[in-house]
Amino acid sequence: MSPTASGKARRQLNAQVITLAHGSGGKAMRDLIEDVFVGGFDNEHLAPLEDQARFELSALATYGNRLAMTTDSYVVDPLFFPGGDIGKLAITGTVNDLAVGGARALYLSCAMIIEEGFAVDKLRRIVASMKRAADEAGVCVVTGDTKVVTRGAADKLFINTTGVGVIPAGIELLSHQAQPGDVVLINGHVGDHGAAIVDARGELSMESTIETDCQLLNDLISCMLDTCPGIHCMRDATRGGIATVLNEFALASDVGIYLDESALPVRKAVRGMCEILGLDPLYLANEGKLIALVPQEFAEPVLQTMLAHPAGTDAAVIGKVTSSPAGRVVLETGFGGERIVDMLVGEQLPRIC
């Protein structure tokens, strides 16, 4: 048992399930926080249990000249699915949101809303998964909050993470910078996460298991920016899929984007599910995929950098930026036709992240 900052032995949580007492501010809550969270996340910023984490500004400034901050809430159902869980998602999602802005992710907060009756061992598994992802990303969970709500007031567990990072001088990734001639790159297969969640809900009894693509993108992005610091636009394609991200770029930059359907990497099992359910992989959620718009002359070197990285082994050129039709994304179908790819109307699948 590691000691707390005051040198006392850390408190232990012996309960099997979370009760309202664990959110009450009393001893039970102290047991939960010290044992599960402080013990689980295990870092010097969290251990003092002050009401806030504190950082030296001068240390931050060594990484760059701008702070970046982002927040995301995670409500995925089910909590555990092939290739990941809500904890891994809560770290990678927020780190990736910083990374696609060129920021080096440093610190994360973690707020949990837990439904009473939730099993403590599941909570420990989730925190351990968060810790693994945080270590891999090189970030620390430095502050947090815990609320327990009555049965039915929330479904099992919701997590919010907020991330702070620093953007190095000279890196300017902005969605309005797309230029005609830019090349559209993706780092791998489309739609795995959305398909994995549908599969994990077990409503379809599919033959094969589809794994989420949930993965960190920060190191891949850092390598891509080393190859080409002048990448114009970058976003991770989560909810709404790559169709949504490309539409955002097309609208913000007032350009057209042509996608080549036959170049789009989609796994056979994901395509199969889409064919059966009438879903479109372009709109399916991803949790480890980025779209980058790269000046033409850098497209090949950036692609090679991506292919050489474990998070980009299936990277591909999937399209190009044109001057017209401005604000529109057009898919050149593998069949030889063309169609407009619009923003999604309504919800394709609820609670996927």
Measured CA to CA, the distance from residue 263 to residue 334 in angstroms comes to: 9
Q: How far is CA 110 from CA 91, 150, 213, 219, in A?
A: 9, 20, 22, 22
* Cβ count near 324 (within 10 Å): 11
Measured CA to CA, the distance from residue 115 to residue 146 in angstroms comes to: 11
Q: Does the footprint of other proteins cover residue 69 (CB under 8 A)?
A: no
Measured CA to CA, the distance from residue 273 to residue 151 in angstroms comes to: 34
Residue of 51, 56, 203, 207 that binds other proteins (CB under 8 A) = 203
Q: Given the complex with other proteins, which of 266 and 311 has the nearer CB atom?
A: 266
> Cα 154 to the chain's mean position, in Å?
22
Q: Does the footprint of other proteins cover residue 314 (CB under 8 A)?
A: yes
Of residues 238 through 277, those in contact with other proteins by CB under 8 A are 262, 265-268, 271-272, 275, 277
Q: Does the footprint of other proteins cover residue 65 (CB under 8 A)?
A: no
Q: Which of 279, 269, 276, 257 is nearest to 338 (CA)?
A: 257
Q: Does the footprint of other proteins cover residue 9 (CB under 8 A)?
A: no
Shortest CB 321 distance to other proteins, Å: 17
Q: Give the relative orientation of helices 192-200 and 268-277 as an angle to the nearest 10 degrees.
A: 70
Residue of 9, 61, 326, 340 that binds other proteins (CB under 8 A) = 340
Q: Given the complex with other proteins, which of 7 and 346 has the nearer CB atom?
A: 346
Shortest CB 309 distance to other proteins, Å: 17
Residue of 316, 321, 352, 353 that binds other proteins (CB under 8 A) = 316
Size of the site for other proteins (CB under 8 A): 29
List of residues 6+ apart from 178 with CB closer than 8 A:
232, 233, 249, 250, 252, 253, 255, 257, 293, 321
Shortest CB 12 distance to other proteins, Å: 39
Binding site residues, other proteins, CB under 8 A: 203-204, 262, 265-268, 271-272, 275, 277-278, 314, 316, 325, 328, 330-331, 333-340, 342, 345-346
